[in-house]
Amino acid sequence: MSNKAFQRTYTRLEAITKATVTLHAQGVSNDELATVSGRLAQVVKIKGDLITLQVFSGTEGIPTNAEVLFHGEPPTLAVSDELAGRFFNAYGDPIDGGPKVEGERRQIGGPSVNPFKRKQPSQIIPTGIAGIDLNNTLVSGQKIPFFADPDQPYNAVMAQVALRADVDKIILGGMGLSNDDYLYFRHEFENAGALNKIISFVNTTDQPPVERLLIPDMALTAAEYFAVNKNEKVLVLLTDMTLYADALSIVSNRMDQIPSKDSMPGSLYSDLAKIYEKAVQLPSGGSITIIAVTTLNDGDITHAIPDNTGYITEGQLYLRADTDTGKVIIDPFRSLSRLKQLVQGKQTREDHSQVMNASVRLYADAQNAKTKLENGFDLSDYDGRCLDYAKDYATEILSIDVNIGLTEMLDTCWKIFAKYFSKAETGIKQEFVDKYWPAE
Amino acid sequence: MKATGIVTGIISNLVTVRFEGDVAQNEICYIDLGGTKMMAEVIKVSGKNAFVQVYESTRGLRQGDKVEFEGHMLEVQLGPGLLSSSYDGLQNNLATMDGVFLKRGEYTAPLDHDKVWHFTPLAHPGDTVYAADWLGEVKEGWLPHKIMVPFSFKDEYQVKSVAPEGDYKIDDTMAVLTDQQGEEHIVTMVQKWPVKVAVGGYVEKPRPFRIMETGVRCIDTLNPIAEGGTGFIPGPFGCGKTVLQHAIAKQGDAEVIVMAACGERANEVVEIFAEFPELIDPHTGRHLMERTTIICNTSNMPVAAREASVYTAMTICEYYRAMGMKALLLADSTSRWAQALREMSNRMEELPGQDAFPVDLSAIISNFYARAGIVKLRNGQTGAVTVIGTVSPAGGNLKEPVTESTKKAARCFYSLAQARADKKRYPAVDPIDSYSKYLEYPEVVEYLKERVSKDWVDKVLRAKNLIRRGKEISEQINILGDDGVPISYHEQFWKSELIDFVILQQDAFDPIDSLCPFERQEFMLSLVLKICDIPFQFDDYEQCSAKYKEIINVLRQMNYSVFRSEQFNQYLEQLNTLLNHEQ
């Protein structure tokens, strides 16, 4: 950071906590950056001339006579086309051994798009995974998280989705990524030969947790550069947002704020919304789509983090191990893409939504039959057919290793319907049954 | 003399200001950040320090920055041109802002001051008038927009003059009134009103007695909401709260609709912006947008303005109610508003109530819903504000402060059930937990007898009973097994499924099924209940379920067909054959 004329140095700290320091200083502005003993910090509270700074990398070893230098501006990122293909840390400094990126310095966490100037998302992002494309279609400009247990292959699925999706840039925001996962992403991106369209901001588990707070804003500032200035389709991957929220709670705790549910700060909803609402379809054609990961504690979605996330994002995707087929599937019951009706039947075949609903309803009937079976009851003929259907449906449609086009997905569903059910049992609109029911 | 002050403390959007002069609670002030004036509201005063919540990001604000107080509370401008506009929570016109991004301190005029309106006088010189009396009207879209004596005028006035019929702009003098002291007051087409104060000017607020039709079967048939009534929709995410609200907005039988998107997703508002101008109001044949005002403070917009947004919306509704119109306020979601209150209360280090919400949350919510109602105006006409709010309970658990407080304040409860949503049974309104207190009002029951049919309420209660019975039986079947219960149990169960699939479930994305007028609801419910009366003879339970599935399938095809069309009648015939075959 270059020295500026108005920079002033202070050397007397009044208070130190695990994440913050407090000192007397003049002319300091809210949100501005400072350096405390060489570590980056940000102004979070001003009370008279008493300034509280949040030190990103923690306050271990900071003495009361630490040198504090105010930068006069909030955190920034240099944006230009040179970002493409590069790996950065939470401060936007390269970690791939390459040179510093030259470009316009932009404040991160910038203003929101005027909702009136947004365009309605209308472009499908096909992934080849039927559990997504058929049942939970993704749309550009959407924000959607995977709700996953820590043992599930969420990062692998996300990388797969990203690499198959037809987008101009992929931006990875890795928070508390294990070093193995970081290397996995790097390896996958390099292998796909797609490195030139990928930008990564990574904070690994061995780095201080509070630093993570910068990652989403860094990633999204880069995304806005490509979407707004270059009219590109940008896909942002954020993993793991639960660790981001944990960092928020650490800071608010150190600042003596009264916690609300699950010891999260009362502003958690607004904090998460600020990030996710950066997803946008711009009138100029550029777009930002966000796919995030929120890890769950033992599948508990009533915890404040997944709960608030669910209210902000446009749906959620669940992974589940299907014990009958041994496959990892996208759970059709709890997963939801809220924007799917914007493209289903419009950009996809007319029978899409009816086929989707019928297939899920029949799968639900199969679950009921399974419960009956487990409780030791006799199964009806219909129950038996439902169970057989469920196996085919899980293997050929829900499994994440499926990679086919949408029309093929629809045809596959019709094929399985005809194999096990009568036309009336599907409950699909007559005109579609007449048109698409496979010939005997 | 307006007060001034300087910034002495900042925590996020809570700013402490040391002031000179006098300030009032809830007074508006502007903080000067290097030439950008940011709006803020006083929420607490202690000695010479005022605590203000800033309606913008406070990034870059410094200790010592100047503050000017305005001498009034947060106000909205009321006048022709409100309809079809899109505002943020502070009534800034979003359409006239520059650029794609929202800029700090950019405030735009809510009403078009250059637009010309054709005015027709209603009052005459010499008339005695009071606040909210009509002086004249202009046509706003197809609605007669009344130019009224401003709500803030106290006591009695004489009309000195009224502008003759002709074309005027909103700032022109439309009338001159003389007060009892002989002082003259100019009335234009615009008036201002502080949003947090309820608009008065009516004679009485009787109990609601009419039903507001929504075209949604599970509301109109099972738990109707009254005109001037209050209702709320709590539900976990993914249960279709917003889809249901949009359906009500599209089809609700009201002359004016105000949608307050309060702390929700921007793309949902964009959906309204994109769809409403294309959609036609089923009641008047006019464009939906012409009767709609959107107040949009999405989740990423400044938190403090979220709180203001629901009050801004309410005030606009009350304004149209004073013109003798039926207004409908849809607030999505009131939980976000409550969370905004919590964030501020937290920063002010107040002692928290349950779940860290402020202790007066319940009072604030019930105060808000109390502004709804049907009113009798001084000229004998009636106007109504109906309010439907959504609640987003944390973790889907209805035992949380916002849901509990709203339950005390609102008369209709539309509980969205996760289990129904999981089964894709939309709208996921739980038929057993939900209720409408209005069905207990004798005047509403009378009204329904007139409006629908003599035995309507009995039919509705019967349907509810069948659903309840069906649920009990399905639990027993789950315990005892299909073979463990008599066939009559299966029949009972399938009767409730019949009502579920044909009456409760409704496809909000199907152009025909999405809107179901009362006549059609009456026809379908009567038909379904008639089927429930048929004494089928089944040999076993599989025969029973197969039969009912066939019946359900035909009835669903009917739901997808235009009422009484050839296609509809064909399905009806098919159904009759299916049923006659049986007897």
CATH number of B4-73: 2.40.10.170
pTM for the whole structure = 0.91
Note whether B263 contacts A116, CB cutoff 8 Å.
Answer: no
Residue of A49, A111, A307 with shortest CB distance to B101:
A111
d(CA B205, CA B39): 35
Taking CB atoms and an 8 Å cutoff, what residues of chain B touch A430? Answer: 557
DSSP calls for B448-514: HHHHT-TTHHHHHHHHHHHHHHHHHHHHHHHHH-GGGS-HHHHHHHHHHHHHIIIII---TTSTTTT
Residue A324 in domain: no
Residue A14 has pLDDT above 90, yes or no: yes
Query: Do A176 and A252 fall into the same domain?
Result: yes
Name the residue type at position A25: A
- What pLDDT is attached to residue B582? 56
Query: Do A278 and A167 fall into the same domain?
Result: yes
Residue A115 in domain: no
Bigger pLDDT: A386 or A57? A386
Query: Do A293 and A145 fall into the same domain?
Result: yes
Residue A320 in domain: no
pLDDT class of B300 with cuts at 50, 70, 90: confident
CATH 3.40.50.300 domain locations along chain B? 211-437
Query: Do A282 and A371 fall into the same domain?
Result: no
d(CA A26, CA A37): 19
Query: Do A22 and A99 fall into the same domain?
Result: no
Note whether B94 contacts A114, CB cutoff 8 Å.
Answer: yes
Query: Do A66 and A88 fall into the same domain?
Result: no
Note whether B61 contacts A301, CB cutoff 8 Å.
Answer: no
- Give the CA distances from residue B35 to residues A282, A422, B38, B61, B65, in Å, rounded to whole numbers and listed in that order: 29, 72, 9, 11, 10
DSSP calls for B18-46: EEES---TTEEEEEEETTEEEEEEEEEEE
Q: For B38-43, which contacts have Cβ atoms below 8 Å and span 24 or more sequence positions?
A: B38/B104, B38/B105, B39/B90, B39/B105, B39/B107, B40/B15, B40/B67, B40/B304, B41/B73, B41/B74, B41/B304, B41/B308, B42/B69, B43/B344, B43/B348
Residue B61 has pLDDT above 60, yes or no: yes
Note whether B266 contacts A74, CB cutoff 8 Å.
Answer: no
Residue A256 in domain: yes
Extract the tokens encoding B403: 């849901």
d(CA B452, CA A125): 47
Shortest CA gap A301–chain B (Å) = 7
Residue A100 has pLDDT above 90, yes or no: yes
Note whether A29 contacts B97, CB cutoff 8 Å.
Answer: no
Q: What is the mean pLDDT of residues A419-428?
A: 91
Residue A47 has pLDDT above 60, yes or no: yes
Extract the tokens encoding B76: 């909205």
Shortest CA gap B366–chain A (Å) = 22
Residue B276 has pLDDT above 70, yes or no: yes
Note whether A29 contacts B11, CB cutoff 8 Å.
Answer: no
CATH class of the domain at B117-189: mainly beta
> Which structural domain, as residue segments, surrounds residue A99?
76-107+140-313
Specify which residues B533 forms β-bridges with.
none
Q: What is the mean pLDDT of residues B457-463?
A: 95
Residue A339 in domain: no
CATH number of B211-437: 3.40.50.300
Q: Over the stretch B464-499, which tens digit does the pLDDT of each residue have?
A: 999 999 999 999 998 888 888 999 999 999 999 999
Q: Is B94 left (phi over 0), alpha (psi -120 to 50) or beta?
A: alpha
pLDDT class of B218 with cuts at 50, 70, 90: very high
Residue A37 has pLDDT above 90, yes or no: yes
Residue of B271, B336, B394 with shortest CB distance to A120:
B271
Q: What is the mean pLDDT of residues A224-250?
A: 95
Note whether B60 contacts A375, CB cutoff 8 Å.
Answer: no
Q: What is the mean pLDDT of residues A216-238?
A: 97
Tell me which of A6, A71, A112 to substitute to probe the interface with B (most B C-beta atoms closer than 10 Å). Answer: A112
- What pLDDT is attached to residue A3? 46
pLDDT class of B390 with cuts at 50, 70, 90: very high
Q: Is A199 left (phi over 0), alpha (psi -120 to 50) or beta?
A: beta
- What pLDDT is attached to residue B544? 93
CATH 1.10.1140.10 domain locations along chain B? 456-580
Burial bucket for residue B517 (CB in 10 Å: 0-12, 13-18, 19+) = middle
Residue B318 has pLDDT above 60, yes or no: yes
Fold classified for B456-580: 1.10.1140
* Interface pTM, i.e. ipTM: 0.86
Q: What is the mean pLDDT of residues A66-72?
A: 93
Residue A73 has pLDDT above 50, yes or no: yes
Domain count, chain A: 3
Residue A116 in domain: no
Q: Over the stretch B72-129, which tens digit does the pLDDT of each residue have?
A: 999 999 999 999 999 999 999 999 999 899 999 899 999 999 999 999 999 999 999 9
Instruction: Output the domain CATH number for residue A42.
Output: 2.40.30.20
How many A-B residue pairs are in contact by the CB < 8 A criterion? Answer: 217
DSSP character at residue B576: H
Query: Do A162 and A307 fall into the same domain?
Result: yes
Query: Dihedral of CA B356/B359/B365/B371: which sign?
Result: negative
Residue of B99, B396, B482 with shortest CB distance to A378:
B482
- What pLDDT is attached to residue A7? 66
pLDDT class of A6 with cuts at 50, 70, 90: low
Query: Do A66 and A80 fall into the same domain?
Result: no
Query: Do A411 and A264 fall into the same domain?
Result: no
Q: Which residues fall within 8 angstroms of residue B445, CB to CB, at 6 or more apart? A: B439, B457
Q: Over the stretch A161-209, which tens digit does the pLDDT of each residue have?
A: 888 888 999 999 999 999 999 999 999 988 888 888 999 999 999 988 8
Query: Do A171 and A100 fall into the same domain?
Result: yes
Q: Over the stretch B495-547, which tens digit does the pLDDT of each residue have?
A: 999 999 999 999 998 889 999 999 999 999 999 999 999 998 899 998 999 99
Shortest CA gap A211–chain B (Å) = 19
Mean pLDDT over each residue of chain B, to the nearest integer: 93
Mean pLDDT over each residue of chain A, to the nearest integer: 92
Query: Do A147 and A203 fall into the same domain?
Result: yes
- Give the CA distances from residue B258 to residues B85, B232, B275, B288, B313, in Å, rounded to whole numbers and listed in that order: 10, 16, 16, 12, 6
Residue A117 has pLDDT above 90, yes or no: yes
Phi, psi (deg, nearest 5) at residue A239? -145, 125
Name the residue type at position B123: A
Residue A320 has pLDDT above 50, yes or no: yes
Residue A253 has pLDDT above 90, yes or no: no
Residue B435 has pLDDT above 60, yes or no: yes
Instruction: Output the domain CATH number for residue A220.
Output: 3.40.50.12240
Residue with tokens 């502080």: B194
Residue A222 in domain: yes
Note whether A361 contacts B424, CB cutoff 8 Å.
Answer: yes
Residue A394 in domain: yes
Residue of B nearest to A274 (CA): B300
CATH 2.40.50.100 domain locations along chain B? 117-189
Shortest CA gap A37–chain B (Å) = 23
Residue B467 CA from chain centroid, whole number: 28
Shortest CA gap B277–chain A (Å) = 13
Taking CB atoms and an 8 Å cutoff, what residues of chain A touch B425? Answer: none
Query: Do A291 and A384 fall into the same domain?
Result: no
